Amino acid sequence: MPNRVLIRALALALALPALLPMGAVQAEEIPRAPGHRLVSSYEGAPATAQPVPGQAPPQHPFLAPNGRSGMHADAAGSGTHPYAGPLGRDPQVTSEKIAALGGECATATFDAAGRLITVCGTFQGFLLKLLDPRTLATLAEYKLPQRSSTVEAITRLDFAKIFKDTSGGAYFYLDDQDRVVLADSRQHILRIAHERAADGSWRFVVEDDWDLTAHIAHDCVSWANLFPRGTCDPVTSVMPDWQGRIWWVTRLGRVGTVDADTGAIRAIRLEGEEIQNSFSVADDGVSIVSDHALYSFRAEPDGTPRAQWRQTYDRGTGTKPGSVNQGSGTTPDLFGDGYVAITDNADDRMNVLVYRRGADVPAGERLVCKVPVFASGRSTTDNSLISWGNSLVVENNYGYEDPTSLLLGRSVTGGATRIDVRADGSDCDTVWESDVRSPSTVPKLSTANGLLYFYAKEPNRLGIDAWYLTAVDFRTGQTRWKLLTGTGPAYDNNWAPITIGPDGTAYAGVFNGIVAVRDRD
């Protein structure tokens, strides 16, 4: 009697092209490096969903619903998703290879129908892609211009420039009308919709294009300008405020706004300061961290940014291995009863800093707590904290520079810590410490099942570079299970986040594309 499983598999393979939407390009799996059969494919046991009680961050009126609008999941930068991620019940891995070299898909967002929208970095330029959330097939693609750092890396053989560059569209957001808003490498802000044609195919359409070059130094390296004499100031990130203005920041400390209705642009400069991270927004202001200080901004009636308050922090004496620059590596977290949290860059031990964010708080009363984390001389992070209720989770990235840092079975010191602000706001307490080694991911919390998701790598004496999606209990810090996603540098996530989709799939951007993990149906 024929093997029914084999017959069904063959039938599915033959039918797949017909099932894909018109114009879709079938996904190609990311190849695994040798050694994947010599490491465990799964450890631990399936978890039981235990939803985490608490109040979700306020829904931003100009963003897609919380959990699917950007890298940090919502306007508050909480790093939480309201969807239940995989519990580890016979989990399955799929992937899409985006390019022959590179192709990492960092930020992942989801439109109202659950389709995945992401920006993937290649050596030819960034690609805005619309993907089928189950098959990862490409439904539509829009090519963004190449970053100057890529041209520099190729012409000057200094590839570190690429891994220290947070510009070009990696930080984008999905607005309340399912449109992508991003800043490209030409210092233009684009608002891009996606639409379906009569034949069933999809395409991206640029609806708005705001040129910032009159306000930003833009003599950047390109193939037509290999030796610029001026300054290049890339746009790092964009986010809307509660009134609908589009705010933007640049690497060299410019903070600006665009009025989406009139196109009016206003900007100021934080002299001598860099901004390499994204920022967070609440109805009481825009929270931005530079490599010197944490700020709260509001806009004047004409849109000009005005600082409500400025709080310096210990920026240390140099850039640590595992940091992009000499300063905080975090996007501010807006959480709890009017708090904002970042980390500093103190030389010996990095500290988690919690502040009261009210504009009328006296300077001497702004700091709630300063909590040192991880080992002496081996602590830094370049990823946002996770915040839920009065709790924060921080990850240690010390030792990670780029995908070459972990070749031949190497890993990082690692570690993750949960810290809670006391109910009376008098101080903070360390709740648990985990030894999970998550070199560079932006971890996430599923509030629907109580699991934290990290992208981990353990040292391997055989030199095998094995990467695991790892689930950690938010309440206890215990690792529940981990699943091998792949082996080799192509599976290094290189600062990309974990993202939990509306259907419960966990996605991770990796150096060669994107991987997806879901429990078997």
The model's pLDDT over 31-48, given as tens digits with 9 standing for 90+, comes to: 999 999 999 999 999 999
**pLDDT surpasses 50 at 8:** no
How many other C-beta atoms lie within 10 A of the C-beta of residue 213?
10
Q: What pLDDT band is residue 165 in, cutting at 50, 70 and 90?
A: confident
Task: Pick the closest to residue 62 from 208, 183, 175, 192 (CA basis).
Answer: 175
**pLDDT surpasses 60 at 256:** yes
| DSSP three-state, residue 388 | strand
Residue 485 near residue 517, CB atoms below 8 Å: yes
d(CA 501, CA 483): 18
Structural tokens at position 354: 């919690």
Which neighbouring-strand residues pair with 237?
249
d(CA 194, CA 284): 32
Query: Which domains, and CATH codes, for the chain?
Result: 30-519 (2.130.10.10)
Residue 381 near residue 400, CB atoms below 8 Å: no
How many other C-beta atoms lie within 10 A of the C-beta of residue 197?
11
d(CA 289, CA 266): 19
**What are the tens digits of pLDDT across the range 56-97?**
999 999 999 999 999 999 999 999 999 999 999 999 999 999
For residue 364, what are the contacts with CB-CB under 8 A and spacing of at least 6?
A: none
Q: What is the pLDDT of residue 86?
A: 98
Residue 249 near residue 217, CB atoms below 8 Å: no
**pLDDT surpasses 60 at 9:** no
Task: Pick the closest to residue 76 from 331, 281, 236 (CA basis).
Answer: 281
| DSSP three-state, residue 162 | helix
Q: What is the pLDDT of residue 224?
A: 87
Q: What is the mean pLDDT of residues 204-222?
A: 95
On average, the pLDDT of the chain sits at 93
Q: What pLDDT band is residue 122 in, cutting at 50, 70 and 90?
A: confident
**What are the tens digits of pLDDT across the range 263-314?**
999 999 999 999 999 999 999 999 999 999 999 999 999 999 999 999 999 9
d(CA 164, CA 183): 17
Q: What is the pLDDT of residue 22?
A: 60
d(CA 468, CA 385): 20
Residue 74 near residue 495, CB atoms below 8 Å: no
Q: Tell me the residue ranges of DSSP E strands in 63-166.
A: 80-81, 91-97, 102-110, 116-122, 126-131, 138-143
Structural tokens at position 471: 């689930």
Q: What pLDDT band is residue 13 in, cutting at 50, 70 and 90?
A: very low
For residue 159, what are the contacts with CB-CB under 8 A and spacing of at least 6?
A: 153, 402
Burial zone of 227 (CB within 10 Å; 0-12 exposed, 13-18 middle, 19+ buried):
exposed
Task: Pick the closest to residue 430 from 422, 439, 440 (CA basis).
Answer: 422
Q: Say what the pTM is.
A: 0.93
Structural tokens at position 127: 């690609």
Residue 491 near residue 515, CB atoms below 8 Å: yes
Residue 515 near residue 118, CB atoms below 8 Å: no
Structural tokens at position 316: 């240390």
d(CA 138, CA 485): 21
Structural tokens at position 202: 């999809």
**What are the tens digits of pLDDT across the range 341-389?**
999 999 999 999 999 999 999 989 999 999 999 999 999 999 999 999 9
* DSSP H or E segment with residue 43: strand 42-44
* b/e sequence 422-448, b meaning 16+ C-beta within 10 Å: eeebeebeebbebebbbbbbbbbbbbb
